[in-house]
Chain A
Amino acid sequence: MKYVTALRAGLVSCHACGRVEPRIRSITPQHCSRCGARLHRRNPDSLMRTWALLLAAALLYIPANLLPVMHTSSLLGSEDDTIMSGVVYFWTSGDWPLAVIVFIASIMVPMLKLSVLVLLTVTAQRRSRWRPTQRTKLYRMVERIGRWSMLDVFVVTLTVALVRFKSIAVITAGPGAIAFGSVVILTMIASMQFDPRLIWDTVEGADSSVKKKAKRASRAQDAQGSTQQSQDPTHD
């Protein structure tokens, strides 16, 4: 089945209100005639921005896991808790469903998000035609689950506010919480900057002559340079 994209039809859809309008080349920052939002065929510098944010998030991910998120000082002494030690605490104290929830939200989800976004940007950059439907599904999943990693930051906030029994036990937040919150926010912005339409642009570029998978692969590599100049749907 053949689909016509807005790009091919010389149209551009407003990212804010969804209105479809003809693309006018002479007006460089074209604005939507209905809502006034700036129109662009694809998110500007989508891949570059995604890379930058991903890199920052990946770097911050290290202190987020190594530095303590909570510091407990009580009569029995003081201890630092990292995110992983919190999971271990739940696990050893028998609350394994909770341990699983915290593990998924604070360790699995950020890792998954980072790796999926790297996979998506790499494949989009290589103009890959590999499983666009599945890749779009991955993107949708990243968009949906990203927010849940803030869980640990909220838990820290409440714990710090509640456990303030002076001279008996006081819990304070550690620098890991800052790093962790930043990772969540950076990956969220990164997934917003990534344009899923880039996944489909190369699929749409497959003409009726190029239908066999073997041909596709070789074409994609050969045409990498030329298509970028002739079509250039990635940047606006």
Chain B
Amino acid sequence: MEHDNLIACHECDTLFQKPRLLGSRAVARCPRCGATLYRSAYRRLDGISAMTLAALFTFLIAQAYPILELDANGITSQTTLFGALVALWNEDMQIVAVMVFCATTLFPLTELVALLYVLIPIRSGYVPAGFNQVLRMIQFVRPWGMIEVFMLGVLITIVKMVSLARVIPDAALFAFGALTLMFAVVVMFDPRTLWDIADELTARRARPMPRTAADSAAAAVSATLTTTAAGQPSAPHQG
């Protein structure tokens, strides 16, 4: 338990005392190798939850609607992301189809759903079942979600096609654009901080029991305060 306040740099293994970060955008860096040790993401929990939920909806739009439409002298062709995958699959390019499917659909979706699964209960003050497994799944999946790369790929395809036919952008193109920005925010959130928060939650739960009932009442009040703060995602709060 005396090691609770220590942190080891994941890139050079140097041990540090973990100081409390002040300010909502503070970043602790390793003075030896310059790696980011941790960010003060705690107060932005509401913002991250809101952003993840918004990203999930945008994701559904991006997947459901066609991305581009080509118009070559009256003959048109359009495709959704899934349609493109099916086309690849039917061309005996199953491996590529699976790669693209994982990078643009499966892994981003897994990350969003898993993040919501842990964030919403944590925000309302309890640790969900399978917390460790889900967090580790987020860490595993994160480097393989490539929405932003796909977005650049779409843009390059547009420029490429412009010389061949008239290119009409469709709904999913804009959805992917928005999703790229949203993912940039979601990925800023380090799931490691959730473990610290979960520790604090369990510690807070364990503490009031031997004490007076007033403590547990105070805990309940702070929990409801946390839930009511959900309405304003930008408002920082100190749990």
A-B contact pairs, 11 of them (CB 8 A): A11-B8, A147-B146, A153-B100, A158-B154, A161-B84, A165-B75, A177-B93, A197-B12, A199-B12, A200-B14, A200-B33
Closest 8 CB pairs of A and B: A154-B153, A161-B84, A13-B8, A200-B12, A161-B79, A17-B195, A6-B8, A5-B13
Q: Give A131 to B199 CA distance when docked, in angstroms.
A: 38
A116 touches B (CB below 8 Å)? no
Further pairs besides A5-B12, A5-B14, A37-B136: 7, Cβ < 8 Å: A4-B14, A35-B135, A132-B12, A164-B87, A173-B96, A177-B96, A199-B12
Given the known inter-chain contacts A16-B139, A136-B12, please indicate yes or no for A158 contacting B153, CB distance below 8 A.
yes
**Most chain B beta-carbon neighbours within 10 Å: one of A5, A9, A105, A162:** A162
Residues from chain A with Cβ under 8 Å of B77 in the complex: 162-165
B83 A161 Cβ-Cβ under 8 A: yes
Q: Which residues of A contact B159 (CB under 8 A)?
A: 95, 98
B residues near A17, Cβ cutoff 8 Å: 132, 135, 192, 195
B119-154 contacts to A, CB under 8 A, are 132, 135-136, 139, 143-144, 146, 149-150, 152-154
Question: Across the interface, do A37 and B132 meet the contact criterion of CB distance under 8 Å?
Answer: yes
| With contact pairs A154-B153, A158-B153, A159-B160 given, residues A196 and B6 touching in the complex (Cβ less than 8 Å) | no
B26-60 CB mask vs A (1 if < 8 Å, else 0) is 00000111110010000000000000000000000
Work out how many contacts link A and B, with CB atoms closer than 8 A: 201
Given known A20-B6, A37-B132, A178-B96, contact A13–B33 (CB-CB < 8 A): no
Q: A102 to B12, alpha carbons, bound, how many Å?
A: 34
Distance, CA A156 to CA B88, complexed state (A):
9
Please tell me if the beta carbons of B199 and A3 are within 8 angstroms of each other in the complex. no
Find out whether the CB atom of B99 lies under 8 angstroms from the CB atom of A153: yes
| A173 and B91 contact, CB distance less than 8 A | yes
Taking a contact as CB atoms under 8 Å apart, the answer to whether B154 and A154 are in contact is yes
> Chain B: how many interface residues by the 8 Å CB criterion?
61
User: Among the listed A22, A90, A181, which residue makes an inter-chain contact with B3, where contact means beta carbons less than 8 Å apart?
Assistant: A22
Name the residue in A132, A147, A161, A199 with the highest tally of chain B Cβ atoms < 10 Å from its Cβ. Answer: A161
Is residue B181 within 8 Å, beta carbon to beta carbon, of the partner chain?
Answer: no
B143 touches A158 (CB 8 A): no
Q: How far is the CA of A57 from the CA of B81 in the complex (A)?
A: 27
Instruction: Tell whether, in the assembled complex, residue B88 and residue A132 are in contact, meaning their CB atoms are under 8 Å apart.
Output: no
**B interface list, Cβ under 8 A from A:** 3-4, 6-8, 10-15, 31-35, 38, 67-68, 70, 72, 75, 77-79, 83-85, 87-88, 91, 93, 95-97, 99-100, 103-104, 132, 135-136, 139, 143-144, 146, 149-150, 152-154, 156-157, 159-161, 163-164, 192, 195, 199
Q: Closest CB of chain B to A98's CB: distance in Å?
A: 6
Question: Is A140 interfacial (CB-CB < 8 Å)?
Answer: yes
Bound form: Cα–Cα A222–B199 in Å: 47
Q: Bound complex: CA of A191 vs CA of B89, how far in Å?
A: 29
Note all chain B residues with C-beta closer than 8 A to A164.
Answer: 77, 87
On chain A, the residues within 8 Å of B83 by CB distance are 161
Chain A CB within 10 Å, residue with most, of B67, B72, B85, B88: B88
